[in-house]
Structure 1
Amino acid sequence: MAWLTTHLKTLFASKKPKNPPKRKPPTREEKGKFRATDDDDNAASPNYNIQSSPKRSNSNRSSSTNSSDITDSDLLPIIHYEELHLIPQILTQYPAFYLVGHPLPRPPLPQAKQILTSPDSVKRSLIHPRKSTVRGYNHAKPSGREWWDYTPDNGGTLLTLDDESFRHVTREYFEKSIALLQKICGEFNTTYTENGDKRMVVPTEVMNDIGFSTMRYLRYSPTILERPNVPKVEPPVASSSSSSHSASSSSSKPKEDGYSLPRMEAHTDHGVLTLMTATEPSGLYVWDRNGKIFSAPPIENTVLVIAGDLMSHFTALEGKSIIDDGKHAIGEGTVLPTVHAVVLPKGGAERYSVAVFLRPKRDMVVSKHRVRKESGEIVEQDMTFGRWAEEKGQIRGRRCWMVGQERLSGGQEL
């Protein structure tokens, strides 16, 4: 992971030129925000030397507008809600995209802060009885993060706060986000085979059922960090008891280096699609299929959408299996799962985020898997979503699964 660590550190490097220009060029975030909020009031104000974005109105919109033309090498695409038909092509070229003009309510970031800053006694009451990591409250203190997963079971009344407003806002955002992700999946089923039959890329079960979908409230904070038992380092010279005490105290404090900042190691998501939104500071990074890193900061009035593992199963070459054929199952139209990681900048404030995961039922068959029996006969077996998720969690390297990018696999933490 030295390669990955080196690249991430360069993103945080602050290199000041000896003779800085009088006017600083816009940052990635500034250019992205300009493109996402471009309208008559501010379209002419920033002097940003990038291609102008078409006006984004909700009425009389031309269906020929192509947001994918409005890009530069540093930015992820920003797609308008009325241009969902572009997404299948966008996800084969980019690891993620921003969606603007969507029908979602305001993101429940205040609710994320509300539940994740509750007293410890409340958090303990929200832990799943069977210690599920995708239901109720969980934490990873050595990584400086904690999370709470909403479960739609029983109308969303399980393992949650006894606060009707909290429950209503949470349930509404979850349900509308799932409906949006299902609508995006539908855009993959608008192509036709050579025989003129409609291609069903994403199974109808994904678009017609909530399945095992969930929503996660996440908090990244230096206050959560809890390093494992670290041996105390004796100072080279202890001139007094006070200096010795100071040295031993400082050795037990979390160091603000690349390995002890609040973070989430590089990984891919199990499901179909994931929708995200977050507060500042930015800390999210995504990789494309060539290993290029994109910063993915929060942009007002947009949500970020990334692909999960199952999109590779659904969009693999016809007659090929991602599991059996690996990179030989990948074509130009294959959507690879988005490798992503979170590392908070040094000295950054707390970061709250909301992630909605579209997942099918655990018993849904996602692909076929060739198995050789003891007799030597090769037979095809069903690979269900539940089995896929279980195997990925057990096999080293599946945590950050990306065909053809072995250097990113292995599940090591940043």
Structure 2
Amino acid sequence: MAWLTAHLKTLFASKKPKNPPKRKPPTREEKGKFRAIDDDSDIATTNQTSSSSPKRSSSNRSSATNSSDLTDSDLLPIIHYEELYLIPEILTQFPAFYLVGHPLPPPPLQQAKHLLTSPDSIKQTLIHPRKSTVRGYNHAKPSGREWWDYTPDHGGTLLTLDDEAFRTSTREYFEKSIQLLQKICGEFNNTLNENGEKRIVVPEEVINDIGFSTMRYLRYSPTILERPNNIPKDEPPVASSSSSSHSASSSKSPKEDGYSLPRMEAHTDHGILTLMTATEPSGLYVWDRNGKIFSAPPIENTVLVIAGDLMTHFTSLEGKSIVDDGKEAIGEGTVLPTVHAVVLPKGNAERYSVAVFLRPKRDMVVSKHRIKKEDGNIVEEDMTFGKWAEEKGQVRGRRCWMIGQERLSGGPDI
């Protein structure tokens, strides 16, 4: 028996070296990719009362990262399309989530690359005649990025490439993405108020109309930093419409060891929901309401969804106004807008992304705003989406709007 015991010990003895090299802790990108498992059925979702992110299967994981290195608090949730009812609660606990099993066609990332690498002569024909920043082509040289916004008017035939295959793929992805975001909004209207009755959180017209929604193709590239600026000096620089304020040109790009980095500073979108997908390298980061930063790398077969400012207006406490009451308007079911930023690592390749913004019509009333008149009387005025976007656009330095907590964006160095 002794010889058998000794023999078994040799069979199961550890083959590890006496002084194994210490393995580096996983980066945020590696943690994010840890979620990218092959079998969607292995992804388990949270129940409606859980406050932690979904558990993942241990199958098909990279051997470079052990499950002991990862905690749920480090990861954004992955929600299956069949369980959209989880989203209203998920967005009160996390700044973003991935959606898997969705009915969207393949993301038009090749279309984004095709348009944004077209000759400048073609891009110039795609600029809106009134310099709109949410229709057609724009570029912001100092931040190392450029973008083009789909124009859904006239069937998507305006300010676009003369390529039927390009137009068809672009239109299909935009329309199906808007339908998906509207369906998510519908889940918020299944929540209950204090009396146990269904509460209309998101106005029905948002769910039934595309409003002023758009889709954006983005390119981040070091070559754009070196491109000559075509904007005359006596004209204001072009500003991004989906973010919080003035032009990206008004703030300096961050530098690492003397190198300028393609980036977009921290901000919040002023719409309702935004759906995103991108190529590698990632560079996308999101903040939660406590200022904790999550990396949000692209995951195959998923899309990332974040909340805009209007979702905070819609989910504020009944009878309260975010504009007037600030934090007093925030309850457990209030969704705060997602602070996010893109900073590409030095020396990486170009990054292409597609973002679909669900927005209401510009004249839709999104909130009430109390105004003090000259006679001292306080009256309520309608806050339309157009007025909200215009006022937010005056915020200096592109700081994000977050219930008055301007530094929650991470400051000017992010």
TM category, shorter: 0.7 to 0.9
- Aligned AA (1:307): A
- 1:116·1:219 contact (CA, 8 Å) conserved in 2? yes
Specify the alignment match of 1:234 in structure 2.
none
* Separation (CA, whole Å) in 1 of partners of 2:136 and 2:405: 33
Report matched runs for 1:93-104 at 5 Å.
93-104=93-104
- 1:285·1:294 contact (CA, 8 Å) conserved in 2? yes
User: Match of 1:121, SS?
Assistant: helix
Specify the alignment match of 1:209 in structure 2.
209
Q: CA deviation at 1:27?
A: 4.5
* Separation (CA, whole Å) in 2 of partners of 1:333 and 1:75: 21
How many pairs align?
Answer: 356
User: Match of 2:396, SS?
Assistant: coil
- 1:308·1:337 contact (CA, 8 Å) conserved in 2? yes
User: Match of 2:88, SS?
Assistant: helix
Specify the alignment match of 1:55 in structure 2.
42
Q: CA deviation at 1:183?
A: 0.5
Percentage of identical aligned residues: 85
Specify the alignment match of 2:392 in structure 1.
392
Greater displacement, 26-35 / 332-341: 26-35
TM-score, scaled to structure 2: 0.80
Runs of 4+ in 1 over 6 A off after TM superposition: 61-67
- Aligned AA (1:179): Q
* Separation (CA, whole Å) in 2 of partners of 1:286 and 1:322: 22
Specify the alignment match of 2:65 in structure 1.
none
* Separation (CA, whole Å) in 1 of partners of 2:227 and 2:138: 17
* Separation (CA, whole Å) in 2 of partners of 1:409 and 1:91: 18
* Separation (CA, whole Å) in 2 of partners of 1:379 and 1:62: 44
- 2:400·2:409 contact (CA, 8 Å) conserved in 1? yes
* Separation (CA, whole Å) in 2 of partners of 1:358 and 1:326: 24
Matched, 1:376 2:363: no
Change in CA separation of 1:379 and 1:62 when aligned onto 2, cut-off 3 Å: closer
- Aligned AA (1:187): E
- Aligned AA (2:300): E
* Separation (CA, whole Å) in 2 of partners of 1:88 and 1:369: 25
- 1:36·1:78 contact (CA, 8 Å) conserved in 2? no
Specify the alignment match of 2:126 in structure 1.
126
Change in CA separation of 1:160 and 1:89 when aligned onto 2, cut-off 3 Å: same
Specify the alignment match of 1:115 in structure 2.
115
Instruction: Kindly provide the CA deviation profile for residues 296-330 of structure 1, in whole angstroms up to 9, marking residues without a partner as x.
Output: 11111110000000011001111110000111111
User: Match of 1:35, SS?
Assistant: coil
Please report the RMSD computed on the Cα atoms of aligned residues, expressed in angstroms. Answer: 2.7
Q: CA deviation at 1:332?
A: 1.1
Greater displacement, 297-306 / 394-403: 394-403
Greater displacement, 94-103 / 25-34: 25-34
Q: CA deviation at 1:403?
A: 2.0
* Separation (CA, whole Å) in 1 of partners of 2:411 and 2:140: 15
- Aligned AA (1:222): P
- Aligned AA (2:54): D
* Separation (CA, whole Å) in 2 of partners of 1:308 and 1:64: 23
- Aligned AA (2:111): Q
Q: CA deviation at 1:281?
A: 0.4
* Separation (CA, whole Å) in 2 of partners of 1:29 and 1:77: 15
Q: CA deviation at 1:402?
A: 1.1
User: Match of 2:401, SS?
Assistant: coil
Specify the alignment match of 1:285 in structure 2.
285
Change in CA separation of 1:63 and 1:309 when aligned onto 2, cut-off 3 Å: closer
User: Match of 1:106, SS?
Assistant: coil
Specify the alignment match of 1:163 in structure 2.
163
Matched, 1:317 2:317: yes
Instruction: Kindly provide the CA deviation profile for residues 20-78 of structure 1, in whole angstroms up to 9, marking residues without a partner as x.
Output: 74655555444444434253xxxxxxxxxxxxx96259xxx999998933262221111
User: Match of 2:225, SS?
Assistant: coil
Q: CA deviation at 1:341?
A: 0.5
- Aligned AA (1:95): P
- 1:274·1:305 contact (CA, 8 Å) conserved in 2? yes
Report matched runs for 1:14-413 at 5 Å.
21=21, 26-39=26-39, 55=42, 68-70=53-55, 72-226=72-226, 256-257=256-257, 260-396=260-396, 399-403=399-403, 405-408=405-408, 412=412
Change in CA separation of 1:36 and 1:344 when aligned onto 2, cut-off 3 Å: same
Report matched runs for 1:5-16 at 5 Å.
none
User: Match of 2:360, SS?
Assistant: coil
Q: CA deviation at 1:173?
A: 0.3
Unaligned runs of at least 5 residues, structure 1: 1-18, 40-52, 230-253
Instruction: Kindly provide the CA deviation profile for residues 1-23 of structure 1, in whole angstroms up to 9, marking residues without a partner as x.
Output: xxxxxxxxxxxxxxxxxx97465
Greater displacement, 63-72 / 30-39: 63-72
Instruction: Kindly provide the CA deviation profile for residues 173-193 of structure 1, in whole angstroms up to 9, marking residues without a partner as x.
Output: 000000000011111011233
- 1:95·1:287 contact (CA, 8 Å) conserved in 2? yes
User: Match of 1:69, SS?
Assistant: coil
Change in CA separation of 1:189 and 1:21 when aligned onto 2, cut-off 3 Å: farther
User: Match of 2:311, SS?
Assistant: helix
TM-score, scaled to structure 1: 0.80
